[in-house]
Structure 1
């Protein structure tokens, strides 16, 4: 019975993220062989192709303002996808250590209360990350359906040289430059849709993989806090049990530091890109409202929601990780520390000192990613957006 239970727990916590990241070769518990490398190369090439097509479309200069903004958005998504996939593959040991630790945690659950805490954090990870991904995949589908609908409604002949076609990824001029046949227009749309889905997976799928394991670490810190608070000083093996809690604390700090170091550079680039795109897409949304362009309003809202969800998840989970690490000290303070033997009390001091500088997700090692940073980015972006709106009205 217990064997079936932990199998169900592992499947519940990890299967969705395995299905998402296995196609791009970054699933930490996979066999790292030539086949996983080929999948990683495929995902990286698809994200790179989105960047190249969008950049060439801007360079060839046959796009309007709306398409230029779409190209810029796709370039940013592609760059983030390439960066995350390559970094998670090259520095895979950090994720492997964390996911193997999570696997061991599920195999060694000692009571129902700890299991409930772990299931709760697994549920939060599944719900938040999968909701973000489902919305993004739906947006990709819309980007493929719109060109096909316009093509079918116009009843155009794809062999006509004067036909102006729309594509999932803005690439009309680029494909014409390379003399790509218009006779396979629908197949081209499907291929670009596949490329878009893999690019989205390389970007947001890697985010989901990282945020899920970060939430698991937060759950383990939560369990450790409870163990510190409820520590029984009258137990016969109190020294051994307290040393076990100290070692667990050190181990969780090491796991959290590995995650923070892995994501540091990525977060720096991501925060910079999202800040710029919030201004640009917000300006496009304001302009669309002014001219009553319903299609543009919907598309702008869709893109804004995707980027805001990324920023929100990193900020909320980063803030949660930092607060959980800080509250280790509070949990010890709320315990009966005054009745501990002298040997244990000495160790309590060192734990309290460590909680003064808790592990946190940082962008470039100098910007802590939490709710305060989130509000600062939103305020700055909306300030620039207000200036742009005033310029538009003038």
Structure 2
């Protein structure tokens, strides 16, 4: 019965994320062999389509202002997706250590209270996963369908020779440059739509994978806090039991630092891209609002929502991890610390010193990713958009 229970818990906590990132070769518990590398290479190639074609389109100057924004957005998202696949392969050991630790945690659950805490954090991981992926995929669908919403209107009363072919993302001149036959139009549309879906999995799917294991670490820190609060000095082997808690604390800090090191560079690039794209897509929304272009407004809102969800998830969970690490000291204070032996009292001082500099997510080792970062980015973006709105109206 216990065996079936932990299998169910592991499946509940990890299966959705495995289904999302295994096809692109970054699932931490996979066998890292030639086939996993091949999946990663194919994922990079598919995502690269959404980067290379828009760049060629911009270079050839065949796009209007709206399409230029789309090209820039696709290039940034595709670059992030490729970067995450490569980075999660480079730092595969860090992610593997964390996910193997999570497996071991589910196998060694001591009581139902701890199981409930772990299930709660796994549920939060699913709550993050669903809207993040839904908005990402819905944005891809909108980009795939938008060119066809007014296709008939644009091409009515036009001969077959003069029909302008539209694609899921701006790539008409690029495809013409490679002399792709018109008979392959539907195949090319399917290829581009699939490339956008792979790009969404490489970008948002990897975010969901990373944030899920971060939440698990937060849950383990919360369980450790409970052990500190309930520490019983009247039971035998006081020093050994307290030392085991200290070792667990050190182990969780090491796992959290591995995650922070893995995401460090990616967060720097992601914050840079998201800040720029929020302003550009917001400007596109203001223009669409002025000319009453419903399709463009919907498209802009969905893309901005996907970016904001990505940003909010990292800031909220980064802030949550920091708070959990800091609360270790308060949990010890809530225990019967005044009855501890003198030898243990000396160790408590070092724990307090450690909680003064908790593990945090940082972008490039100089920008702490927390709620203050989110507020700062939003304030800057809205200030910029307010100025642009005044310029448009005047």
TM-score, L = length of structure 1: 0.97
Matching residue of 1:34: 34
The alignment of Structure 1 onto Structure 2 pairs a total of residues equal to 394
**Any conservation in 2 of the 1:148–1:186 contact (CA below 8 Å)?**
no
Matching residue of 1:65: 65
Matching residue of 2:358: 358
Matching residue of 2:139: 139
**Any conservation in 2 of the 1:157–1:163 contact (CA below 8 Å)?**
no
Matching residue of 1:210: 210
Matching residue of 2:128: 128
Q: Aligned partners of 1:33 and 1:148: how far apart in 2?
A: 42
Q: Aligned partners of 1:189 and 1:289: how far apart in 2?
A: 28
Q: CA deviation at 1:133?
A: 0.6
Q: Aligned partners of 2:116 and 2:157: how far apart in 1?
A: 60
Q: Aligned partners of 2:293 and 2:170: how far apart in 1?
A: 20
Matching residue of 1:292: 292
Matching residue of 1:309: 309
Q: CA deviation at 1:255?
A: 0.2
Q: CA deviation at 1:179?
A: 1.2
Q: CA deviation at 1:62?
A: 1.3
Matching residue of 1:46: 46
* Distance change in 2, residues 1:147/1:284 (3 Å): closer
Q: CA deviation at 1:145?
A: 2.8
Alignment partner of 1:272 is 2:275: no
Q: CA deviation at 1:143?
A: 2.1
**Any conservation in 2 of the 1:158–1:183 contact (CA below 8 Å)?**
no
Alignment partner of 1:258 is 2:297: no
For each residue in 1:72-118, what CA deviation from the matched residue of structure 2 results, as whole angstroms up to 9, or x when unmatched? 00000011011110010111000000000000000000100000000
Matches within 5 A, 1:178-193: 178-193=178-193
Matching residue of 1:240: 240
Q: CA deviation at 1:119?
A: 0.2
Alignment partner of 1:229 is 2:229: yes
Q: CA deviation at 1:129?
A: 1.7
Pick which of 244-253 and 42-51 moved more. 42-51
* Distance change in 2, residues 1:291/1:156 (3 Å): closer
* Distance change in 2, residues 1:181/1:22 (3 Å): same
- SS of 1:161's partner is helix
Q: CA deviation at 1:163?
A: 1.4
Matches within 5 A, 1:152-167: 160-167=160-167
Q: CA deviation at 1:155?
A: 7.5
TM-score, L = length of structure 2: 0.97
Q: Aligned partners of 1:6 and 1:51: how far apart in 2?
A: 42
Pick which of 214-223 and 152-161 moved more. 152-161
Matching residue of 1:383: 383
Q: Aligned partners of 1:240 and 1:61: how far apart in 2?
A: 70
Q: Aligned partners of 2:384 and 2:154: how far apart in 1?
A: 39
**Any conservation in 1 of the 2:43–2:202 contact (CA below 8 Å)?**
yes
- SS of 1:302's partner is helix
- SS of 2:54's partner is helix
Q: Aligned partners of 2:316 and 2:308: how far apart in 1?
A: 12
